[in-house]
Structure 1
Amino acid sequence: MTEDLETRRFRTLFISDVHLGSKAAKTAFLLDFLRHHDAGTIFLVGDIVDGWRLKRSWYWPQECNDVVQKLLRKARKGTRIVYIPGNHDEFLRSFPGRHFGGIEVADRAFHETADGRRYLVMHGDEFDVVVRNARMVAYLGDWAYDIAMHINQALAAIRRLCGLPYWSFSAWAKQQVKSAVNFIGEFQTVLADEARRNDAHGVICGHIHHAIMTDIDGIHYVNTGDWVESCTAIAEHEDGRLELITWSQVLDAARPPEKPLLRIAPPAAA
């Protein structure tokens, strides 16, 4: 997809919410990202595999295997990979401290950046009241999200035909709903409080598919986003600086302009 782009090397990469096993997962985008980005350490911050959807119906195309194999190859070549399970891949929470093909499993982790800042790294669903206390509501919300993603796919196909960049209907709808906006704000505040309780300078999480880096009362809140809508990751440079990368924007910039659709003008009036 982007063979002409150079490989960038970082100290650390943080990726979450890939949802392998879901038809909405942008595995081709993630594979392309992994080909062009290396790091000494990669944190997989939950919901990498979508166990909820796989229980409903099995969907595991070759691209899902390709992502897993790409990560395993990076581990074999010396990259430290830490897998912190989320709510969709919670079956892995039974294996804290275990290694699978060189990939470590941990409930949560602490990461110290090159400039000495200490970050709590966790998926974040532990502080989602709906997921923890109203399981059926969470499943219904997941079903509604599936519908929104189907609308996304249809719109994306139409926009490609028109030569327009990718735009997420579900992300837009989420931002328009006041309750969703309030939930995001509360989620960020609670995660920042948890980082403060653990004497951390910041928190790096996923779960809500809302990529952002912001300061909340002196705590640096960082959300990695997802790979079903925004195609985002967090990268730590060698000096400790954090960068939010939106890979779909990079792909749009690298993609050659499409030829405009041929339009036949109506005959001139006599």
Structure 2
Amino acid sequence: MPFIAHLVSVSESMEEHTTSRLYRAIWISDLHLGTAGCQAEPLLDFLKQHESQTLYLVGDIIDGWQLKKKWLWPQSHNDVIQKILRKARKGTRVVFIPGNHDSFARQYAGEHFGGIEVQHEAEHTTLDGKCLLITHGDLFDGVIQYAPWLAYLGDRLYCMALTWNVWFNRARARMGLGYWSLSQYLKHKVKDAVSFITAFEEALVKEARRRGFDGVVCGHIHKAQIREVDGLLYCNDGDWVESRTALVEHLDGRLEIITWIPEATAKAGTFKPAAAASHSVDTGASQS
């Protein structure tokens, strides 16, 4: 069986990472490699300590919008790409679904690069047989589709907020305080933003229902969530510029949002990982 062979491959490499966790699937999106806001170091740490049969890259992995304006590609961003390629070489199925920020890759849908499959969208069947549609989500964003100039303006303001976040959290770390996201706080407080998120979720669930899926997995809006909407499962894996989250399916079929919390030491700037589960749902597989 492919997964058993993969687990053997993983176990051989666990001498290097004794705390590795194993899953049926992991979904991550909105890494925004190529931007100052990308939290590449904790992301790399997460990838080192989590293995899966399938790794889904659900869009906005590389930020082509920002790279066109200014080239920024530190070694840590290259290390993330190399780690993903290494997973593919060692037997992990890696599926890349481009988003709006890396839409340049959509022209390569159906191709393989370094063992990574590029697809417009994908399907995933959970252990209990639920079929999930996997898409980045930008195609269901009215601003992206009908007012792209507004999307670019919003992206510029968003990047400014992320830059403020970096300096703000460095100051908090010196005072011994934990990470806090200004941009996330503003999104949750602004009424129009909350309404947009709700409409986005409903549009994706409606499309999944129309096409006969049991649920949907997406990214794009940087808000990790697992919940039921009108009888269908809605999952958003979050992002790696604000919340450092991933969606996982455990070996028993349970779905969970993992928030990866690096405890930055003020002096050395190193990271101590600590996984904190923010949301989970039992799909029923563990009861069968």
Query: Is TM more than 0.5 here?
Result: yes
Report if aligned partners of 1:115, 1:239 keep a CA contact under 8 Å in 2: no
| Residue 74 of structure 1: how far off its partner (Å) | 0.4
1:98 counterpart (93, 98, 111): 111
Q: Which residue of 2 aligns with 1:137?
A: 150
Moved more, 20-29 or 234-243: 234-243
Q: Which residue of 2 aligns with 1:115?
A: 128
Structure 1, unmatched stretches of 5+, are: 257-270
Runs (4+) of structure 1 exceeding 2 A deviation are 249-256
1:63 has 2:113 as partner: no
What TM-score, normalized to structure 2? 0.85
Q: Which residue of 1 aligns with 2:250?
A: 237
d(CA) in 2 for partners of 1:96, 1:190 = 24
1:48 has 2:34 as partner: no
1:225 counterpart (224, 238, 251): 238
1:209 has 2:216 as partner: no
d(CA) in 2 for partners of 1:32, 1:42 = 15
How much identity, in percent, do the aligned residues show?
52
1:78 has 2:62 as partner: no
**What secondary structure does 1:210 align onto?**
coil
- With over 3 angstroms needed to count, the CA separation of the structure-2 counterparts of 1:254 and 1:61, relative to structure 1, is closer
Report if aligned partners of 2:261, 2:273 keep a CA contact under 8 Å in 1: no
1:157 has 2:170 as partner: yes
d(CA) in 1 for partners of 2:273, 2:87 = 27
Q: Which residue of 1 aligns with 2:207?
A: 194
Report if aligned partners of 1:18, 1:47 keep a CA contact under 8 Å in 2: yes
What TM-score, normalized to structure 1? 0.91
Report if aligned partners of 2:262, 2:273 keep a CA contact under 8 Å in 1: no
> How many pairs does the alignment contain?
254
**What secondary structure does 1:120 align onto?**
strand
**What secondary structure does 2:261 align onto?**
helix
**What secondary structure does 1:222 align onto?**
strand
Q: Which residue of 1 aligns with 2:30?
A: 17
Report if aligned partners of 1:121, 1:203 keep a CA contact under 8 Å in 2: yes
Q: Per chain length, whose mean CA-contact separation is higher, i.e. which structure has more relative contact order (CA < 8 Å, sep 6+)?
A: 1
Letter in 1 for 2:140: F
Q: Highest CA radius of gyration, 1 or 2? A: 1
